[in-house]
Structure 1
Amino acid sequence: MAGKTKSGSSKGQNKRPVKSSSSGLSSKIKKAKPHKPAPKPIQQKSKSSTPSAKKPPHLRYTERELNVPQLNGIRPAGIQKPPNTKKGKIFVDDKEQMNTILAIVMAEKEGNIESKMMRARQLEEVREARKLEAEKRAQSKKAGLEEKKKEIKNKKRKRRHSNVDTTVTEDNNNEQSAIKKPRKKVTFG
């Protein structure tokens, strides 16, 4: 096979061998076509790109398109925002509206402060009441202990007096019983 040539790893040079016969040559030439990549099918878009197409959200509306009145830049001290931030309050030029809004906000703040003060006062009253109750309990305990001590002392005194009385009565009883019944004595010796 003299027609084949081997060369490196290049893919473009690997071709089929061509036969030298005249009848086969003409048929081979007709069939052999240079390989071109097939054209890519173009997909048709279902929606045409017209000016009425949807815009991205950040490009949908502008203040000029909507005819929005320009707002002033006056901001109260508590609401001032740093630059390049989304959050912030901007009030309309109407001073009466702005004053009413500020009055409402200040009233709420004062109400919150007042309610905090009221809560603090109530908590103090509760603490004082608890202290008074604790003091009363302590006094009642002390009084109870004092009474118990007095009772114990009185019992001891009564016992002493009763012991003296009982010893005297026992002695009298012993003398009377000795007189009445002579005891028998037993000695072991």
Structure 2
Amino acid sequence: MGPGTTPKLPRAQRREQIIAAAIPMFARSGHAGTSLDDVAVAAGISRMIIYRHFESKDDLYRAAIRHAARHLDAAVGGELTEGSVRAMVSWASADPDAFRLLFHQAAREPQFRQDVDELRGEMAEEVHRNLAGVIDDPLWARWAAQLSLTVTIEAIMAWLDIGRPAPDRAHVRIERAVDAVLRSLQD
């Protein structure tokens, strides 16, 4: 292999390398603020290699969103339960760029907003199923599910933004905020 050449990787591994290089850039600068040349440099490859794996920057952005969503799903064990706040905080702490991409940057990008809205909708439905037995009124249960999810995501985002203080206790404070939402439904 000569100077300036990129080592040959299996296709799936190269694809993951490109996504891993793109996520922090997309999380920081968004879709419009990130060029494929920037991603190529960060990945240590040429732009042409990106096009061997992705049809366009949009395709790469969606792949990055799906990648982050899969990792979030794995972190929470595929199900949102009482322990999910701790798992989400832990995952966000380990991969803040992926968290920011999913819940901040992609949500602000008009052409990708639907992808994130679908993810949040699925998450809210999961929370709703868990609350349905606890909250009798179906409309209030749906409200509590959506608000609990929003409080959790925004609290984690704010926690990341201020520098991740007390990472071993952050989930407890966020859980208290979610508990306050649920207590608001008690008469």
- Which structure would you say has the larger Rg? 1
TM-score range, shorter chain: under 0.3
Higher helix share: 2
TM-score by length of structure 2 reads: 0.16
TM-score by length of structure 1 reads: 0.16
**Higher relative contact order (CA closer than 8 Å, sequence separation 6+):** 2
